[in-house]
Chain A
Amino acid sequence: MSTENKIRKQLADNPVILYMKGTPDAPSCGFSAKAAGLLKGTGTDFAYVNVLEAPFIMEKLPEVSDFPTFPQLFIKGEIIGGSDIIEELLASGELQPMLDSATH
């Protein structure tokens, strides 16, 4: 399976997925730590990919999502953005309903 198809399958299989550096419990970058921490705080179950262990995905995903940096959050296969956007959508109250509708 090509890397792009692998990514598309991950997006199709997981309603909430975070591509991050490190893991939610051991993030390797401040932005990934923030994104994972905010998501955990919502009480939503989410899938994650540690892109540091998946170099092909790290290389390919920015092209697929048209978003240049990590972390990257997807809900129902749609790019939401990185930690700045997660923070803003959470503060504005928009994120929780998006997560709820994706996981229920």
Chain B
Amino acid sequence: MDENEIIARITSLYADAAVDINGADCSFEVYVISEQLGGKSTLQRQRALLDLFKDELKSGKLHALSIKARTPSEQAATSGLVQIQL
């Protein structure tokens, strides 16, 4: 699967999302930072994001998808870095 396609799907769900992606073909590690993740549990976030790739995960086109999803303030708290929106 193409990484631009992955990013496009995520931003279609969370328009403000900053997406960082590592990997190729059928195996990706994706970091998503979005204000819209606030108030959702880790499970709810994972479900919502994995749902975008349901068909590919089922067919095996996407074999491995690791997702870390945080709000900007959670991200700032874990990394000590503050993301500046451009």
Q: Which residues of A contact B (CB under 8 A)?
A: 29-31, 66-69, 79-85, 88-89
Query: Closest CB of chain B to A41's CB: distance in Å?
Result: 19
| Contact among A29, A30, A67 for B47, CB-based, below 8 A | A67
Q: A85-B43, A85-B46, A89-B42 are in contact. Are A69 and B57 (CB under 8 A)?
A: yes
Knowing A68-B57, A84-B66 touch, does A79 contact B43 (C-beta < 8 A)?
Answer: yes
- Pair B58/A68 contact, Cβ less than 8 Å: yes
B27 (CB) vs chain A CBs: closest residue: A30
Residues of B within 8 A of A66 (CB): 47
Interface size on B, residues (CB 8 A): 15
* Partner-A contacts on B (CB < 8 A): 42-43, 46-47, 50-51, 53-54, 57-58, 64-68
CA distance A75 to B75 in the complex (A): 27
B43 and A30 within 8 A (CB): no
**List of A residues within 8 angstroms of B46 by Cβ:** 67, 81-82, 84-85
Q: Out of B53, B54, B57, B68, which one reaches A84, CB within 8 Å?
A: B68
**Contact status A84-B47, CB under 8 Å:** no
Taking CB atoms, residues of chain B closer than 8 Å to A81 are 42-43, 46
B42 A88 Cβ-Cβ under 8 A: yes
Please tell me which one of the listed residues B42, B54, B58 contacts residue A85 in the complex, with CB atoms under 8 A apart: B42
